[in-house]
């Protein structure tokens, strides 16, 4: 099992995530010089981006919000053949958050008991390390210093939680948040970094559904943070693109 998916594998097993070879994540990409961003689904460190027709169709309607000094702009992301397009990008000092709160629930049998699990993928794109306030249920935000992040869960700092960091080449590091929810990484390379964190919440609840309220027994939250570093050691190239799942 690779270093970034280990914490999420159990969560996807709980949700019966058939058809994918391994646990997945969503992340936000904004190519250099572009004014718009895209929400991707797959494995960043494996250079795997799911497509439509294919596993990308598992998603419903991800929403995204641009957070800036001018206020917030929220939209429904638009599905394309290789991701979910956003009509905006993040300029210096801005951030984008995205999530899919309507991912299909999944049934799982535990002995004689049938349980229902919910998977809640989310992502954040940041352009710097000025401290930000959390917006997602599980949110990793810059903490004021280069390479330093703070993890929040339901608005409170989340201690002793694994955070996995990977680059486009597959170079990876792992860290754990301290008692204040802080974790710090060295960022030696130029290029894109994606950090991932996962929390399983064994608390039952319900959400609105197309045919009325949908009840669930637990939630698996998986959130990523994307940051593009413009200085440092020249980035190692990404590996060959992995074949999308059908």
Residue predicted with more confidence, 239 or 81: 81
- Asked if the model's pLDDT at residue 21 lies above 60, the reply is no
Dihedral over Cα of 123, 126, 129, 132: its sign:
negative
- Asked if the model's pLDDT at residue 3 lies above 50, the reply is no
Q: What pLDDT sits at residue 29?
A: 97
Banded model confidence at residue 111, pLDDT cuts 50, 70, 90: confident
Q: What pLDDT sits at residue 99?
A: 97
Instruction: Report the distance separating Cα 53 and Cα 50, nearest Å.
Output: 9
Q: What pLDDT sits at residue 140?
A: 98
With tokens 């709980």, the residue in question is 14
- Asked if the model's pLDDT at residue 176 lies above 90, the reply is yes
In this prediction, residues 100-129 reach a mean pLDDT of 90
Which residue, among 32, 27, 68, 78, has the nearest Cα to 50 in the 3D structure?
Answer: 27
Q: What pLDDT sits at residue 23?
A: 65
Instruction: Report the distance separating Cα 139 and Cα 27, nearest Å.
Output: 13
Question: Residue 89 is encoded by which pair of tokens?
Answer: 């990008």
Q: What pLDDT sits at residue 8?
A: 37
Instruction: Report the distance separating Cα 73 and Cα 96, nearest Å.
Output: 9
Question: Residue 174 is encoded by which pair of tokens?
Answer: 């792992």
Banded model confidence at residue 25, pLDDT cuts 50, 70, 90: very high
Banded model confidence at residue 157, pLDDT cuts 50, 70, 90: very high
Question: Residue 21 is encoded by which pair of tokens?
Answer: 């070879």
- The CA-based angle 36-40-46, given to 5 degrees, is 130
Instruction: Report the distance separating Cα 27 and Cα 44, nearest Å.
Output: 8
Mean pLDDT of the residues in the chain: 89
Instruction: Report the distance separating Cα 206 and Cα 174, nearest Å.
Output: 33
Alpha helices in 130-244 (DSSP H): none
> 243: burial class by Cβ within 10 Å (0-12, 13-18, 19+)?
exposed
């Amino acid at each position: 099992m690779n270093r970034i998916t280990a914490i999420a594998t159990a969560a996807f097993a709980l949700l019966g995530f058939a058809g994918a070879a391994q646990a997945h994540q969503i992340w936000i990409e904004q190519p250099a010089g572009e004014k718009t961003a895209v929400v991707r689904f797959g494995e960043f460190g494996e250079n795997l981006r799911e497509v439509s027709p294919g596993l990308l169709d598992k998603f419903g309607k991800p929403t995204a919000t641009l957070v800036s000094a001018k206020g917030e702009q929220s939209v429904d992301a638009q599905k394309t053949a290789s991701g979910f397009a956003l009509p905006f990008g993040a300029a210096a000092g801005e951030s984008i958050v995205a999530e899919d709160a309507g991912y299909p629930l999944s049934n799982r049998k535990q002995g004689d008991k049938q349980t229902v699990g919910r998977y809640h993928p989310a992502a954040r794109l940041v352009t710097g390390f000025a401290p930000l306030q959390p917006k997602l249920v599980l949110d990793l935000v810059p903490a004021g210093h280069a390479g330093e992040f703070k993890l929040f869960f339901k608005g409170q700092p989340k201690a002793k939680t694994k955070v996995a960091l990977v680059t486009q080449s597959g170079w990876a590091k792992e860290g754990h948040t301290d008692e204040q929810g802080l974790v710090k990484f060295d960022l030696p390379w130029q290029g894109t970094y994606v950090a991932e964190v996962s929390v399983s919440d064994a608390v039952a609840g319900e959400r609105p559904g197309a045919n009325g309220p949908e009840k669930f027994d637990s939630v698996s939250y998986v959130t990523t943070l994307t940051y593009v570093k413009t200085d440092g050691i020249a980035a190692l190239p990404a590996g060959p693109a992995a074949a999308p799942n059908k």
